[in-house]
Structure formats: structure tokens, C-alpha cells
Amino acid sequence: MGWMQDETGLERTPANYVPLTPLSTLRRAALIYGDEQAVIYGAHRKSYREYAGRCTRLASALAARGVAPGDVVATMIPNLPPQAEAHFGVPACGAVLNTINTRLDADTVAYIFRHGDAKVALIDTQFLPVAEDAIARMDGAGPEIIEVPDEHGGFPATGRHITYEDLLAVADPEFDWIMPEDEWESICLNYTSGTTGRPKGVVYHHRGAYLNAMGQILSWRMVLRPRYLTIVPLFHCNGWCHTWMMPMVGGTLICCRDITAPAIFDAIADEGATHFGGAPIVLNMLVNAPEDQRRHFDHVVEVFTAGAPPAPATLAKIEPMGFNITQVYGLTETYGPATECTWGSQWDDLNSADRAAIKARQGVAMPIFEQITVLDEQMQQTPMDGKTQGEIMIRGNGVMKGYLKNPEATAEAFAGGYFHSGDIAVQHPDSFIQIQDRSKDIIISGGENISSVEVEGALMEHPDVLLAAVVAKPDEKWGEVPCAFIELKDGAGVDEAGMIAFARQSLAGFKAPKRVVFQELPKTSTGKIQKFVLRKTAAALG
């Protein structure tokens, strides 16, 4: 259907069809941006020609060690040059890259090594003990370790394994990259956070990785030669595909091992960082940084934030500091960002609080997605009234291939022709999506649904609050009631009664927390608050 009556001789040929892959972007950049800065970290300053050359050597070295097309190569590396190089060097030998969360325990790492069948693992020296422990639990059947020391970061080589630089030194600089014959070939394997049960292995293809990287250039209004600061961990949705994005626009990747306020301000002031992505906790860290940790800069820094809905109070405080915040939303299963809170000129004259309220929405589908909308349990469109709740559903080229070795979970996730996000949201009359909660985080009190996000936003307005998380606490009368866990700023003086009273000023009585616990909040490596831990604590409060 849709073809002309006679299309004889109009088939695909090498001249008019090439499988989409991020690999092509670095080969192009090595030619046209050859002498320009590609990757920097301390004294490590590599041009695009050198960057591509190091990726070529990595591909050659892995192939020489028996890594065949379709094999898995794992990494446990912070946001450093070798982790960026692996994003090109591993697929350039036909292999599949598995970037592992550096904060996982040895038992989970052993599971991932085993489930993904990793053949080789590039391991930063800091995380060698965990990786070695993981392989010991596998009775020696684990991957071969290549040690990736970081002298600049304070982690010199141990001498227990061949090092990354020694590996590259003996590799073939003329190795011919193995480009995908089919853009549906797997490029990466990413494991979900696994807060309930074992993590699932999410498989990406070359086409989706290319399109997601390309699409975000549009969404971020990015021009040539941006200077991108790596705050999003490169093990998290491959850094939202941003490492693959940079060669498309001749950008510079500014690597950052430890994510701290001084490190971010220094990168902006000294290295001219123009863009970074990060969870709302990163924004909060900058807003609350003491004056002696801040640096002056005179350009606007564009920020993608995701991972949890940012509190309007945080957004209102950070923009006057020189940051333009765009909220994006996505999941591991969508290569990272899938929606964007696209700003419209009709909102230019809003006051700070109203601007922040608009920016707290998750927004609309990014250009590469076919459809992202809110559907009810019968897979029907919910009314776009800003009130009726449903589940965010996603269709398009930026959705994963599926879950590795788990066809049942894959079929469940794709039921009805959409990817089921598990996020509960409303849609406004302008079609903008706004998350109310994860389905498991909705609090049902006396039959009424309470959005933990709404309660958290109210609590974050209090000047003493650094971070707030709200979960359900079992209650004999109401079934569940809101329980707030709050991390206070230094020198704060508010108590439980005062915080509850503050919340009731802006929330209906049944939505206000019935208990408030002051403590440091447990967080994942990507800055998400671990609500499953807090739910257990709340249940134990009685």
C-alpha cells in the first residue's frame, strides 16, 4: 500500500540506504572536526581525530581478545574518557556495550555478568574489588577484566590486570570498524534499577540510539560546538545518548568523575560548559551550594532535568542563577528522554512561580517518537482536562527492542501496541503530560488518590527543606496515609508539627502528611530517591 504502480528498479542500494548507527557520526566528526577538542578530563585533551583513533584501537584490541560480533562487553567506569570511548569502540568491533551501575553490590554485578554473558569487562580501579568479588561468585566463569586506572582521580593501577592504556598501545590503529548490516542490530544492554526483584536487561538497537541522539539536538535547541558536561552517569541509559550526540554537532565532552557543586561550577567557569543533564537533586545541590563553592559565569547554561518531577520551588530558584531548565521525561526502556516540556512564548510574561509550575510538567513527545499520550485501562485516550488520570503510553523508534531473555515481560510491556511506562499522569488541554506518580507510589487514603509528587512539591516550598519524599504509611482507619521523609538544610529549626502545619496551608487536610521523619534520604547513583526503602521504614513506624 502507498507504492506507485510501477517501482521497478527503485530498490534499496548501497547508494541510497545505509543502516542508521551512532558509529557513523564519529567517523564523520574525525574528518570535519579532526583537530577540534572532543574529550577533556584534567590533562587528557583529545581531538576528534585522536578520539576516533582511540576508539579504533579499543575495537581492535577487543577483537584480538576474542570478542566477536554479538558478544557483550561490560564496563564499570565513572564519567571518564574510557567510558565515552567504549560507546564507540565496543560497537565498532560488532559487540554490545553493557554499562553497569558503579554503585551496585557484587551479587547484583555477578547476576548482570552472568545474565548478559559478558566476555570482557572494563573496570575502573575504584570498582575492581566489587568486580573481582562478583567474578569469584561465578566460579571463575566471569568476564576477563581490563583495569581502567585513573591517576587524575586518585586511583592508580593495582598491577593485578592488564590496563586499558596497555591494551590500546598494542592494538591496530588501522582496524576496520564493523558497521551494522541491519540497524536493528543490538548496540547496548542496560539493566533497570531493579528495586523489585532482579534488574531487567533492556536492549537498544543502532537505529534507536542514532535517532534519540539526533532528536535531542532539536529538543535542546543545540547549535554547533556545544560544551557538554557529563553529569548524567554514562551507565544510565548511556548518558541519555548524549555521548553519541556530541560528534553530530562537533561538541566537546567535559568528563567529571565526582558530581559535586564545586566540580560543576568549575566546569562552567573554567571549561565553558554550556549544557548538562541531571536529576532534580543536582539542581537542588546547586541552589543550596554555599557562596564559597560558587563561581561567576556570564553565559546561560542549558539543563535537561529528569528522573523525578522537579519541585517548582527549586526551578524558581535556579533559573535566576544563569540556568535555563527544560524538563524531560523517559525511562531506560526509551533510551532516556522521550518527552520535553517545550516552552512557548505565551508563557514568557508569567511570574517566577507560574513559570516554574509550567516547567514542572513532563511535556510532549520528542520529535522521534510517534506518539506519547495518556490512556486508561481500556487503552483509550483519557480526557485532556488536567484532571483525569491514566498511564503514560509510548510508541516510536525510541523504544527498546525488549528485555533480554524475558519474552513474557517484553510482551507485557508492549501489550496493545504501546510501551506501558507504569507512570500515572494527566494531560492538560494543550496535550502536555504531567506525572502524578509512579503507579506504585500513588497513596490511596480512604478511597481518595493522593499524589506523592504534589505533597512533595508543597513541602519543598518550606525554606528549611533540602529534599522531601512522601510515601504511603499503613493506617488502620484510612488504609494508607501520607508519610513524609525530609532532609533539612544545616541550621534548620522546624519540627514535625510545624512542617505538617505548613503543608496544610496549601494542601487539603487529607493530603497533608500525618507523620514527618527527618533524616538523610536514601538515593540511587542517578540521584533518584529510593522510595522502596522509605516504604519499609514507614511500614515499621506502626
**430 and 504: one domain?**
no
**396 and 468: one domain?**
no
pLDDT of residue 347: 92
pTM more than 0.95:
no
Asked if the structure places residue 139 within a domain, the reply is: yes
Asked if the structure places residue 241 within a domain, the reply is: no
**521 and 463: one domain?**
yes
Helical residues (DSSP H) of 293-404, grouped into ranges:
312-318, 352-359
Task: Name the β-bridge partners of 46.
Answer: 39
Asked if the structure places residue 238 within a domain, the reply is: no
pLDDT of residue 196: 47
pLDDT in tens, the chain (542 residues): 677 788 888 999 999 999 999 999 999 999 999 999 999 999 999 999 999 999 999 999 999 999 999 999 999 999 999 999 999 999 999 999 999 989 888 888 999 999 999 999 999 999 999 999 999 999 878 999 999 999 999 999 999 999 999 999 999 999 999 999 999 999 999 998 654 468 899 999 999 999 999 999 999 999 999 999 999 999 999 999 999 999 999 999 999 999 999 999 999 999 999 999 998 888 989 999 999 999 999 999 999 998 766 777 888 889 899 999 999 999 999 999 999 999 999 999 998 878 888 888 899 999 999 999 999 999 999 999 999 999 999 999 999 999 999 999 999 999 999 999 988 899 999 999 998 867 677 787 866 678 788 889 889 999 999 999 999 998 877 778 999 999 999 888 899 999 999 998 888 787 899 999 999 999 876 677 888 899 999 989 87
CATH code of the domain in which 448 resides: 3.30.300.30
Q: Which of 541, 538, 540, 463 is nearest to 498 (CA)?
A: 463
Task: Name the β-bridge partners of 278.
Answer: 305
Residues 256, 277: Cα–Cα separation, whole Å: 12
**408 and 485: one domain?**
no
**342 and 317: one domain?**
yes
Domain boundary among 205, 232, 267: 205
**276 and 399: one domain?**
yes
Question: Which run of H or E residues covers position 43?
Answer: none
Question: Which backbone phi and psi does 217 adopt, to 5 degrees?
Answer: -60, -40
DSSP E strands in 439-478: the ranges are 443-445, 448-450, 465-475
Asked if the structure places residue 488 within a domain, the reply is: yes
pLDDT of residue 493: 85
Q: Pseudo-torsion of CA 520, 522, 528, 529, nearest 10°?
A: -70
Cell of 188: 547496548
Domain count, the chain: 3
**465 and 431: one domain?**
no
**375 and 510: one domain?**
no
Q: Which of 243, 274, 279 is nearest to 259 (CA)?
A: 279
Residues 147, 166: Cα–Cα separation, whole Å: 10
**412 and 460: one domain?**
no
pLDDT of residue 525: 63
For residue 493, give its domain range. 443-540
Asked if the structure places residue 364 within a domain, the reply is: yes
pLDDT of residue 197: 63
